[in-house]
Structures are given as C-alpha cells and as structure tokens.
C-alpha cells in the first residue's frame, strides 16, 4: 500500500470508523450513567446544590491547599501534562482547521514553535509521571494493563505529531497517515478506558459539589 | 547521432549570446544541485552535444506538457535546447504525418540504437487498447517497440509518471504509468501537471553531461528538483509557523498573503521545485498567485480528496454518520441503564441478610 493510499484510508474509512466508535461509545457511557440517576434526597436543602456543583467543576482544576507540597511530581507533572495536551490538541492551526472543517467552529491558534515546545513538555511530563507511578508501591498496585494502554494511546499521537511537524525519518505524507491512525486508535479506545475521564470528570465533580452544596458546604 | 547543427550555432542564430548560454548553464548546474565547478562541464557538454536522438511519445495526455515546454511567449533556452537535441519524433511538433512520421521514428531508432532517449507523456491504457492508438497500433505496442533500443526513458508529466488524470477513479481505460511497464531500462519520472520546463531540460542536460540519469528518489524523480516539499521552500511558510492562515480567498489573511493551508494547500505533501524555480521565467507560482498548491506532482493527486479541504481534515465522518452513532449510543445506553437498574433490584430482592451467627467461627 502506498503512503498516499494509506493516508486516504486513514482520512476516509479509518476516520469514519473511529469517529463512529468514539461518538457511539461516549454517548453510551454518558446516557447509561445518567439513566442510573441518584437516589432522591428528601432532606431540606441548606444550600444550592446546582450552584455548588458547577463551582466544583471549575474549582477542582486547581489542587487543594497543601497537596502540591505533599506530592509535587504528581501535581506539577499532571498540570503540565493536561495543559500541554489541551494546547497541542486545540490550539494548533492544522487541528483547528480540521475541527473547523467538521463542525464550523473556529478560534485563533498558537505558533508552531509554541506547540512544538508544548508537545515536548507534555511527553516529558508523561514519562515522569509514569516513572513516579512505577516507583510508588500503592499506585503500582492500582495500575492495570488498561492504564498502560491508555498511556500508550495518548503518547502515540503526541509522538507522531512531533515527528510529523519536524519531518523526522519519514516523508510528510507517511507521517501524516501514521499520525491520523494513532489519533484514530485513541478515539476508539477513549470511551472504554480511563481516558473517558476527560468527559466524566465534569459529572463526577458536579455530583460531589452538588451533594456537599446541598448540605451547606462550600466547594 | 543526428546530423543537425550543434547547439551553439543554433543559439547564435536566435541572437542568444555565449554569455547568456553560460549564465543558463550555471543556473542549470545550480538547479541540479551540482557543484559550481561543474558549470563549465555542463556548458561544454551541451555545446559539443551532437544531439542524441530524442523520440517523444504521446499517449493518453492533454499536450499540456509540450505546451509547458514550447509555448512560452518568447523562445526560451529550454525550448531551443530541446530543439537542438534532435527531436526526431513528436506528434505536435513534427512536420511529418502518417506513414512519414512513423518512418521517421523507426529510422531514428535504427540509426541511434542503444543511444536514443525516449520521452513519454501520457499514460498507457491497458483496459482496452482501443482507447488510444497511433497509426492503428496500441500505445503499449509502440512503447515496447520504441523503448527496446533506448538508452533511457523519461516519463514526462504526472500521467506518464503515475497514471495521472486518466488513471483517476474509476480509471475507465485501465491507465497505468510508464514505469510500471518498463522494467529493463532506466526510467526517470518528471511528474507535474505540467512539469517545470527547466526540470525537463536539466535531466536531458545531465544525461548529455554525465552519460547517465541524475540521482532519483523513491518515486523515480530527480532529487535535485523533487527533494524538498513546496511547503519547506514556500515564502509563506513563516505565516504557517506563526499560525496565521487565510480562511477564505477574500479575507484579511488572503489579502495579507498568509498561509493557504486552511484553504487546502497540498504544499506539505508535495515534492516539487515550484516554490524555488517558479513558472513563466521565474515570475510566480500558484501559491504566490494566491491559490493553494494542488499537489499535482504526487501520485493519485486527483483522487487525494478535495483541492480545497485542509490536509489535516479527515472526510470519512459526516453529519449522517455522527447522528447514527449518537442515536445508537443513546438507545444502547438507555438499555444498559435499564438492565443495570433491574440487576440492582434483583440483587436487593435476592440478598441474604448476614446474621451474627453467620459470622461466628464455627468449631
């Protein structure tokens, strides 16, 4: 198969399959979760559950006081990884062009050099976090094969994207095809692995905040 | 070899001085990525060339490649050099017709056996030979007959190099490239729709100077001209790196000359020299004129998605597919939720309470 044919497959049938699995899987997981509902709380509310729920969704982007000092690698590494990943995925011109073409949404991006730097930092943070995880006996015990799969599926698009932008080893067309295939692997795995937390985090934080808020606690 | 006059007298007769010729040879040497010291050798070879016979075969093509080479506003050096290297057979340019034309081809082949160059533009139809014939014979027959005694073959244009437009889906004629049919001779591909004139003459000049074809890439193209992508050599590259893109053909970005990536530019995947050599005597090239690169020197460029869709944009998923996937997710998600609730109720109903007696250690 030529690199052109591989690219055409990755952009056409390959992406169609991956997008269908992604949308189907994410919808299924969210609908199933919402369908289960929570047991109604019949007590008199002492505060606004909804308001506290929404505040918690935002406030927990920052670590609680003291936590950074207790485990700096996890918190600083985690912050670098998540911010870097967000910038690489959503603020790179060609990615914005792809999203604009599919949804009509558009926003300004960052220069290629900034994205390149963010990619390096993100990959470095992933490696540091993996090492830290492997050295901690408790987290090592909690880590499963599915976690390593999610880690690998996240690393591959970053790595192939970096090689693509910097034209390392292979022609652009081949690298673009490989990059797209790695993104498609990520999309397929997303709903059925811990990667799904990129969607469910909002629900989890809202529930936690709403329960506390209803009892009169502030997030 | 042909008995026609050598190149220099011909250039003289067109008012082109030796100085102009030397400058041209220096430029040609640079374009071929040869050492500057090779320029005199290129000039000497072209001067002395007794013009190896060149047979130009035209199959399934549009004559655009010939137009590119010969239809300049003023006679170009490329055109004159091509003329000087003894074009013994060319449908568009030769005076002879019918049996006379075919006789000229056979005569050139016999007189220059093992030494002549075959230039081909157009693809060969294998599905039904009747789609393209010359003097009642199939393109395939004539190609094999002509190439049998050739020194080398040059596939000119994307049709000859990769099948091009005739081979675009659904490829009704079963068109194939020249390289896929010729396996026992050196074949160099000069793709482009059309290719840049200087690329064609540079390959001929290289052959005359060194007696062999230039270094080729994995697709059989001369590395000197097809070694870099349009994107890597594009003067708008700085805007790409800054994240500044034209979003439409008439927006502020387009007027300011920003990168055309979002308008579908195929520069990043296209290997050619348009951005450096340019067209019309170095005046401009498509991107400089405000239009994205179509990627015409790459295989299957006609079938590689829309010319105006960004390279990074997949096209497999549309609204219909997305709606179906979401609908299926909702349906199965509700069913899974209901099943989970039922399972929970069943577990609650079937639960066996644990008593203290159960927990006591029995002797």
Which residue ranges form the domains of chain B, and what is each CATH number? Answer: 7-225 (3.40.50.700), 230-303 (4.10.480.10)
Nearest CB partner across the interface for B337, out of A32, A108, A109: A32
In chain A, pLDDT over 70 holds for what percent of residues?
Answer: 99
The secondary structure of B12-53, three-state, reads HHCCCCHHHHHHHHHHHHHHCCCCHHHHHHHHHHHHHCCCCC
Identify whether the C-beta of residue A15 lies closer than 8 Å to the C-beta of residue B314.
yes
Going residue by residue through chain B, which has 363 residues, state the pLDDT in tens, using 9 for 90 and above. Answer: 444 556 667 677 767 777 777 777 777 777 777 777 777 777 777 666 666 788 999 999 999 998 887 765 455 556 556 555 677 777 777 777 888 888 888 998 999 899 888 999 999 999 888 899 988 899 999 999 999 999 999 999 999 999 999 999 999 999 999 999 999 999 999 999 999 888 887 888 788 777 788 899 989 999 999 999 999 999 999 999 999 999 999 999 999 999 999 999 999 999 999 999 888 878 899 999 999 999 999 998 998 888 999 999 998 778 899 999 999 999 999 999 999 999 999 998 998 888 888 888 777
- Each residue's pLDDT tens digit, A34-51: 998 888 888 888 888 889
Is A35 in Cβ contact with B316 (below 8 Å)? no
Q: Which residue of A has its CA nearest to B314?
A: A11
Average pLDDT of span A144-152? 96
Q: Which whole-number Å values give the CA distances from A12 to B188, B317, B320, in the listed order? A: 32, 8, 15
Kindly report the number of other CB atoms within 10 A of residue B102's CB atom: 16
Say yes or no: A12 contacts chain B, CB-CB below 8 A: yes
Window 186-215 of A, Cβ < 8 Å to B: none
Q: Which residue of B has its CA nearest to A8?
A: B304
| Chain B residues within an 8 Å CB radius of A171 | 269
Say yes or no: A23 contacts chain B, CB-CB below 8 A: yes
Helix (H) or strand (E) holding B190: strand B187-190
Q: Which two tokens stand for residue B309?
A: 């869709």
Orientation of helix B39-48 relative to helix B18-31, angle to 10°: 120
Say yes or no: B311 contacts chain A, CB-CB below 8 A: yes
| Chain A residues within an 8 Å CB radius of B306 | none
In whole angstroms, what is the distance from residue B241 CA to residue A187 CA? 27
In whole angstroms, what is the distance from residue B48 CA to residue B221 CA? 27
Smallest CA–CA distance, residue B139 to chain A, in Å, is 26
- Residue A110, φ and ψ in degrees, nearest 5: -105, 160
Strand B54-58 relative to strand B117-121, pairing: parallel
SS3 call for B134: strand
Smallest CA–CA distance, residue B222 to chain A, in Å, is 16
Say yes or no: A168 contacts chain B, CB-CB below 8 A: no
Say yes or no: B75 contacts chain A, CB-CB below 8 A: no
- Each residue's pLDDT tens digit, A97-134: 999 988 999 999 999 999 999 999 999 999 999 999 99
Chain centroid to Cα B293, Å, comes to: 12
Q: What is the DSSP code string of B156-183?
A: EHHHHHH-TGGGSTT-TT-EE-STTT--
Q: Please report the pLDDT score of residue B82 as a whole number.
A: 59
Kindly report the number of other CB atoms within 10 A of residue B144's CB atom: 13
| Chain B residues within an 8 Å CB radius of A4 | 298-300, 304
| Chain B residues within an 8 Å CB radius of A181 | none
Cα angle value B134/B138/B142 (rounded, 5°):
75
Map tokens 């990059």 to a residue. A179
B291: left (phi over 0), alpha (psi -120 to 50) or beta: beta
SS3 call for A171: coil
Nearest CB partner across the interface for A113, out of B232, B241, B261: B241
Q: Please report the pLDDT score of residue B2 as a whole number.
A: 46
Nearest CB partner across the interface for A24, out of B298, B315, B329: B329
Say yes or no: A7 contacts chain B, CB-CB below 8 A: yes
Is B338 in Cβ contact with A23 (below 8 Å)? no
Nearest Cα residue to B66 out of B92, B33, B95: B92
Say yes or no: A173 contacts chain B, CB-CB below 8 A: yes
Q: Which two tokens stand for residue A101?
A: 């073409």
Strands of the B117-121 sheet, one edge to the other = B87-89, B54-58, B117-121, B152-156, B187-190
Identify whether the C-beta of residue B194 lies closer than 8 Å to the C-beta of residue B164.
no
Identify whether the C-beta of residue B195 lies closer than 8 Å to the C-beta of residue B297.
yes
Nearest Cα residue to B271 out of B242, B301, B314: B301
| Chain A residues within an 8 Å CB radius of B312 | 94-95, 97-98, 176
Average pLDDT of span A172-182? 93
Kindly report the number of other CB atoms within 10 A of residue B35's CB atom: 9
Say yes or no: A161 contacts chain B, CB-CB below 8 A: no
Say yes or no: B247 contacts chain A, CB-CB below 8 A: yes
Helix (H) or strand (E) holding B153: strand B152-156
Kindly report the number of other CB atoms within 10 A of residue B134's CB atom: 16
3-state helix, strand, coil in chain B (%, to 5): 45, 10, 45
DSSP B120: E
Smallest CA–CA distance, residue B306 to chain A, in Å, is 11
Is A34 in Cβ contact with B336 (below 8 Å)? no
Q: Please report the pLDDT score of residue B61 as a whole number.
A: 93
Nearest Cα residue to B306 out of B320, B290, B318, B295: B295
In whole angstroms, what is the distance from residue B105 CA to residue B92 CA? 14
Q: Which two tokens stand for residue B197?
A: 């004139």
Q: Which residue of B has its CA nearest to A110?
A: B243
Is B328 in Cβ contact with A32 (below 8 Å)? no
Strand B87-89 relative to strand B137-138, pairing: unpaired
Orientation of helix A172-189 relative to helix A145-165, angle to 10°: 150
| Chain A residues within an 8 Å CB radius of B310 | 94, 97-98, 101
Nearest Cα residue to B169 out of A12, A86, A46: A12
Cis peptide leading into B170, omega within 30 of 0? Answer: yes
SS3 call for B155: strand
B25: left (phi over 0), alpha (psi -120 to 50) or beta: alpha
Mean pLDDT of chain A: 93
In whole angstroms, what is the distance from residue B307 CA to residue B330 CA? 36
Nearest Cα residue to B290 out of B261, B242, B319, B249: B249
């Amino acid at each position: 198969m030529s690199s052109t044919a591989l690219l055409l497959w990755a952009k056409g049938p390959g992406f169609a399959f991956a997008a269908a699995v992604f949308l189907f899987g994410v919808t299924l997981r969210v609908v199933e979760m919402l369908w289960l509902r929570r047991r109604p709380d019949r007590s008199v509310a002492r505060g606004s559950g909804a308001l506290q729920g929404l505040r918690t969704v935002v406030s927990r982007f920052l670590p609680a006081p003291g936590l950074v000092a207790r485990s700096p690698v996890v918190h600083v590494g985690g912050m670098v990884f998540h911010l870097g990943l967000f910038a690489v995925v959503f603020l790179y011109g060609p990615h914005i062009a792809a999203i604009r073409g599919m949804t009509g949404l558009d926003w300004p991006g960052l220069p290629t050099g900034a994205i390149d730097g963010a990619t390096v930092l993100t990959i470095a943070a992933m490696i540091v976090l993996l090492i830290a995880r492997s050295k901690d006996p408790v987290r090592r015990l909690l880590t499963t094969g599915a976690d390593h799969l999610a880690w690998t599926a996240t690393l591959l698009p970053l790595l192939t994207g970096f090689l693509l932008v910097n034209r390392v080893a292979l022609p652009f067309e081949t690298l673009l095809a490989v990059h797209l295939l790695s993104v498609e692997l990520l999309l397929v795995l997303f709903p059925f692995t811990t990667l799904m937390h990129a969607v469910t985090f909002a629900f989890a934080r809202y529930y936690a905040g709403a329960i506390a808020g209803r009892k009169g606690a502030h997030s | 070899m042909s008995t026609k006059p050598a190149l220099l007298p011909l250039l003289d007769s067109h008012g082109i001085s030796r100085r102009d010729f030397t400058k041209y040879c220096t430029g040609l040497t640079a374009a071929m990525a040869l050492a500057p010291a090779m320029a005199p050798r290129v000039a000497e070879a072209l001067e002395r060339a007794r013009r190896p016979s060149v047979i130009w075969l035209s199959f399934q093509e549009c004559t655009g490649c010939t137009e590119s080479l010969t239809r300049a506003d003023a006679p170009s050096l490329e055109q004159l050099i091509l003329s000087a290297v003894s074009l013994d057979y060319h449908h568009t340019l030769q005076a002879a017709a019918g049996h006379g034309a075919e006789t000229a081809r056979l005569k050139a082949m016999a007189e220059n056996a093992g030494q002549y160059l075959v230039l081909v533009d157009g693809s060969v139809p294998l599905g039904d030979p009747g789609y393209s014939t010359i003097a009642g014979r199939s393109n395939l027959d004539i190609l094999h007959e002509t190439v049998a005694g050739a020194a080398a073959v040059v596939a000119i244009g994307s049709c000859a190099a990769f099948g091009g437009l005739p081979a675009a889906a659904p490829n009704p004629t079963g068109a194939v490239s020249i390289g896929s049919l010729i396996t026992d001779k050196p074949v160099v591909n000069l793709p482009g729709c059309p290719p840049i004139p200087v690329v064609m003459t540079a390959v001929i000049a290289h052959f005359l100077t060194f007696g062999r074809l230039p270094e080729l890439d994995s697709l059989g193209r001369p590395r000197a001209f097809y070694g870099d992508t349009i994107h890597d050599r594009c003067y708008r590259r700085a805007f790409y790196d800054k994240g500044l893109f034209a979003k439409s053909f008439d927006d502020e970005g387009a007027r300011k000359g920003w990168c055309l990536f979002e308008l579908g530019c195929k520069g990043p995947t296209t290997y050619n020299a348009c951005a450096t050599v340019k067209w019309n005597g170095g005046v401009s090239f498509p991107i400089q004129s405000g239009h994205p690169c179509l990627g015409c020197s790459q295989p299957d460029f006609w079938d590689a998605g829309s010319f105006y869709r960004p390279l990074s944009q997949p096209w497999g998923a549309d609204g219909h597919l997305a709606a179906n996937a979401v609908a299926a997710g909702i349906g199965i998600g509700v069913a899974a939720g209901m099943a989970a609730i039922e399972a929970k109720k069943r577990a609650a109903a079937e639960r066996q309470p644990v008593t203290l007696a159960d927990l006591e250690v029995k002797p």
